[in-house]
Structure 1
Amino acid sequence: MTVSDSTAPLPEERRAHVVELLRRRGVVRVSDLAAELDVSVITVRRDIALLSSQGLVRRVRGGAVLHGEAAPAERGAAEAPTEQRLTIGMVVPSLHYYWPDVIRGVREAADAAGARIVLRGASYHAADESRQLARLVESGGVDGLLVAPTTTGDDGEALVRWLQDAGVPVVLIERAATVGPYQEAMESVMSDHALGASMAVRHLASLGHRRIGVITTRQSPTSPHVRRGWRRACEELGLDGAPDADTVDVRDPEWAGVLEDLLDACVSSGTTALLVHSDPEAIGLVQRCQERGVRVPEDMAVVTYDDELAELCDPPLTAVRPPKGAIGRAAFELLAARLADPDPERPAHRVVVEPRLIVRASSRP
């Protein structure tokens, strides 16, 4: 029976129909319910999530059973509501920089667990991320989501609300967000970027630098954390003021002029060390220093944040290396734990992983 638009039941009636179908059939697939009730997969997932929180049903992969009942596969039956292999949707903002190592970490953990990853690349825009996520969820083929979404601005805030109501467990990667009237945290796994920046400042200070500046790119979601760690370490160490720039990245036509102004500010202020996010900007900085006769590290020590390309620079760059592979593995394991324990009272988990400082020639005495 397919419910037409003119006879579409109220939400309470629809959920009661779901419970009745489960009584009759034992187990029902999400995709079958969506087709039978003529609603979206997301709507069905939300209904099941609500019924689960009320103790009426229990979620299983791809569907639901009545609370206290076993799914066919759990009873040893020949059929199950879906293929028993866990399927995780993953959406990241880039497939080329930073994120490949995170993806490899997820793949390693998924392979060890016999799970499948469905990967989608986006473009640091909430609209693109929303489209990719909606396609994954509405397909009915994913059990949970790993996502690095845009969380700021009106579109980012709307995307966070959508994720909260998507009807499948979600773990944020290298992002943090809060939801609801009490601003409860969503589950997440993040590098401690502020700590990494602080480590860089303390390394430079240990070499005798008293004026340590920072350059970040305003487009990067990591920049606020880097700046917070830099500022905190400078205050704790009593370091003098130095250039503090949150600006365009190396791809912007204005970058060359911005870089020139920054180096002028370093010379006039007596700044002798810089923390730069990220590698392309740090490499561009070193190249321009050399063109201007500013020696690295003798006149200007440089530490970069990310360590994607840092070792290829001349001189090789000291770098803060976020634990990208460990982030991916931890994110998968957190989502798998959530799927294994669908108890609505399970508290949200936020995992923070420490980065490493890799000392190279750009900051050695």
Structure 2
Amino acid sequence: MREPGDVRRRRILAVVLSRGAVRVSDLAAELEVSVVTVRRDVEQLARAGRLQRRHGFARSIVPVEQPQASSGAEGGAVGLIVPERHQYLFEVVHGARTTLEAAGLRIVLHIAPPVGGAERPIVERALAEDVRGLLISPRWRSVAAEEADYAWLVDVPVPVVIVERRPRLGSVLHATDSVCSDHWYGVHLAIDHLVSLGHRRIILAARDDSPTARAIRAAFAEITAARPGIEDATVVLSSPSATAEPDTVDTLPPLASLVRDRRATAAILHGDTDALMLTQHLSEGGIRVPRDFSVIAYDDTVAGLGTTPLTAIAPPKAEVGRVAAELLLQRLDGQHGQPRRVQLLPELKIRESTQKL
């Protein structure tokens, strides 16, 4: 599905704000669009006063402040490591950047490519550049990939906060600082909303290639099993590419057929792009949203931009970044204390895709 222009421009602005200056050609490669498209977007943002366009670069209009140091946390650089093409985390990056730069720290953003083990060499390079601390959101497409990173992450010699990831209970990273959305609560909000509208047969069409996806699937199974009023709860992949090993998935059954087979009346769809596409497939199959079927998207990055704006669960992405940055600042300021595992609550945004049976 082609990304809407206003969403693409928000992504461009987020990248420019996080890095200070970016080549137009690099933006085009990262967003997987033409240079001409990005140049046009950059010109539009420049005319609106959101950024500056200079000789093939897009530059932030927000200066990096360097206030006089008032505590041990100020001065130097912090490494921020996020997966490539992970739209969900752009708001997290912005929240962290704003907080750290206000404290006089420079952000060094590293984008991890979509290959296993990509984060470790990036961390090693960041440490060689004398970063004072790290905020890291590993891709962790599978449980095995996650656990393979535990041993070296726990030995990183600077303060580390794991962002929007929840290390396994009892693992060596259990006592590492982390800040994450409470995805159990997000799924609870979605199910509670659907049940309040009279829905008892619910589908979860979800990814299975990230810690967030696995948390959503586990929460759905637990919550629906504990609600006696729910007659059927079915879990399917949201797309053939939504698994850690996409080559093992052949063809998924059309969602409209599954809805009819299960006699479902509602679905929770993760994430937003898959949700918009699946809603379109429902319409093509003769199932109208919300008249025939209610839909809740999980992520709320572009859920409100569909032909039918989707009701969505919105994790507190910017707040996760801000709180993670504040926690890292405390560690850099010598406030050691006990490690903290912080969870922040998502919210339900009701739009036009859900209605009472």
Q: TM-score, with normalisation over the residues of structure 1?
A: 0.71
1:280 aligns with 2:273: yes
Question: Which residue of the partner structure matches residue 83 of structure 2?
Answer: 93
What's the CA shift string for 1:71-90, capped at 9, x where partnerless? Answer: xxxxxxxxxxx996142101
Question: Which residue of the partner structure matches residue 229 of structure 1?
Answer: 219
Question: Which residue of the partner structure matches residue 243 of structure 1?
Answer: 234
User: Distance in 2 between the 1:225 and 1:363 partners?
Assistant: 23
Contact 1:315–1:361 (CA under 8 A) maintained in structure 2: yes
Contact 1:242–1:266 (CA under 8 A) maintained in structure 2: no
Describe the SS at the equivalent of 1:175: coil
User: Distance in 2 between the 1:255 and 1:172 partners?
Assistant: 31
Deviation at 1:247, TM superposition (A): 5.5
Name the aligned partner's letter for residue 312 of structure 1.
Answer: L
1:169 aligns with 2:159: yes
- Give the aligned CA root-mean-square deviation in angstroms: 2.6
Name the aligned partner's letter for residue 107 of structure 2.
Answer: I
Q: 1:357 to 1:269 in 2, by over 3 A?
A: same
Counterpart pick for 1:219 among 209, 216, 219: 209
Name the aligned partner's letter for residue 145 of structure 1.
Answer: L
**Unpaired segments of 5 or more residues in structure 2?**
1-71
Contact 2:269–2:296 (CA under 8 A) maintained in structure 1: yes
> Structure 1 residues 103-112 or 262-271, which shifts more?
262-271
Name the aligned partner's letter for residue 180 of structure 2.
Answer: M
> Structure 1 residues 305-314 or 86-95, which shifts more?
86-95
For 1:144-223, what aligned pairs fall within 5 Å after superposition? 144-151=133-140, 152-177=142-167, 184-223=174-213
1:350 aligns with 2:344: no
User: Distance in 2 between the 1:359 and 1:240 partners?
Assistant: 24
Deviation at 1:191, TM superposition (A): 0.2
User: Distance in 2 between the 1:108 and 1:264 partners?
Assistant: 46
User: Distance in 2 between the 1:208 and 1:241 partners?
Assistant: 13
Name the aligned partner's letter for residue 240 of structure 1.
Answer: E
User: Distance in 1 between the 2:134 and 2:173 partners?
Assistant: 21
Deviation at 1:137, TM superposition (A): 1.1
Q: TM-score, with normalisation over the residues of structure 2?
A: 0.72
- Structure label with greater radius of gyration: 1
- Matched residue count: 280
Question: Which residue of the partner structure matches residue 258 of structure 1?
Answer: 252
Q: 1:180 to 1:135 in 2, by over 3 A?
A: farther
User: Distance in 2 between the 1:109 and 1:249 partners?
Assistant: 38
Contact 1:176–1:185 (CA under 8 A) maintained in structure 2: no
Question: Which residue of the partner structure matches residue 115 of structure 1?
Answer: 105
Contact 1:275–1:303 (CA under 8 A) maintained in structure 2: yes
Q: 1:184 to 1:268 in 2, by over 3 A?
A: closer
Name the aligned partner's letter for residue 144 of structure 1.
Answer: G
Name the aligned partner's letter for residue 164 of structure 2.
Answer: E
Q: 1:154 to 1:214 in 2, by over 3 A?
A: closer
**Unpaired segments of 5 or more residues in structure 1?**
1-81
Name the aligned partner's letter for residue 136 of structure 1.
Answer: A
Question: Which residue of the partner structure matches residue 35 of structure 1?
Answer: none
User: Distance in 1 between the 2:186 and 2:174 partners?
Assistant: 26
- Which protein has the bigger helix share? 1
Name the aligned partner's letter for residue 287 of structure 1.
Answer: Q
Describe the SS at the equivalent of 1:132: helix
Q: 1:109 to 1:285 in 2, by over 3 A?
A: same
Q: 1:143 to 1:267 in 2, by over 3 A?
A: same
